[in-house]
Amino acid sequence: MEKLKIVVNDTLSFEVTPQDLEALDFVQTGKHSLHVLKGTRSFEVEVIDSNFQEKKLTLSINGTLYQAEISDPFDQLVNKMGLLLDTVHKVDTIRAPMPGLVLQILVQPGDEVKQGDALIILEAMKMENVIKSPGDGIVGNIPVQKGQAVDKGQVLIRMD
């Protein structure tokens, strides 16, 4: 059974399974908000920021901000083996982390971008996701257009 490890605010760590997530009772109350019931407890959850490439979320839960970092079994194995690298690598392409709709393209060919700069806003599962640059570089070709539906893994930006 695949377990995701979630670290909240760099202090609290716990594991969840897909079955744990399916057991939650939730209703979407807005574009970025949910009402969640877990047992007898009620939570108002708002997604403030999401970065699926870095597997990080910023959530407001009942008015309190939380930073969550998610790691799958592969991430956990790489970390356990001590193979994490803090080196900056050259990025050739930026790909869609999930299927969605291109809402906005925030850069143009020739733009110089730094790691963490917002590149594209992608709507997926009725939520806006900011696709950020995983490294420094110069924007080359942008083979997608505003309003275009994209598949998971589809090239959004080619870097020079």
Q: Work out the angle at residue 140's Cα, subtended by the Cα atoms of residues 120 and 127, and round it to the nearest 5 degrees.
A: 10
pLDDT at 2: 81
| Rounded Cα distance, 37 and 28, in Å | 12
> Tokens 């925030």, residue?
106
pLDDT at 64: 92
The topology (CATH level 3) of 93-158 is OB fold (Dihydrolipoamide Acetyltransferase, E2P) (2.40.50)
User: Tokens at residue 72, please?
Assistant: 């799958």
pLDDT at 82: 65
> Tokens 């490439």, residue?
53
* Sheet of strand 127-132: strand arrangement: 127-132, 118-124, 100-105, 149-150
Low-confidence ranges of the chain (pLDDT < 70): 1, 82-90
Q: Which amino acid is located at 37 in the chain?
A: L
User: Tokens at residue 8, please?
Assistant: 């909240």
Residues 143 and 158: beta-carbon distance below 8 Å: yes
pLDDT at 114: 87
Residues 119 and 107: beta-carbon distance below 8 Å: yes
pLDDT at 122: 92
Q: pLDDT tens digits for 87-120? A: 455 678 899 888 999 999 999 999 999 888 999 9
pTM value is 0.48
Segments of the chain assigned to CATH 2.40.50.100: 93-158
pLDDT at 135: 83
pLDDT at 158: 93
pLDDT at 90: 63
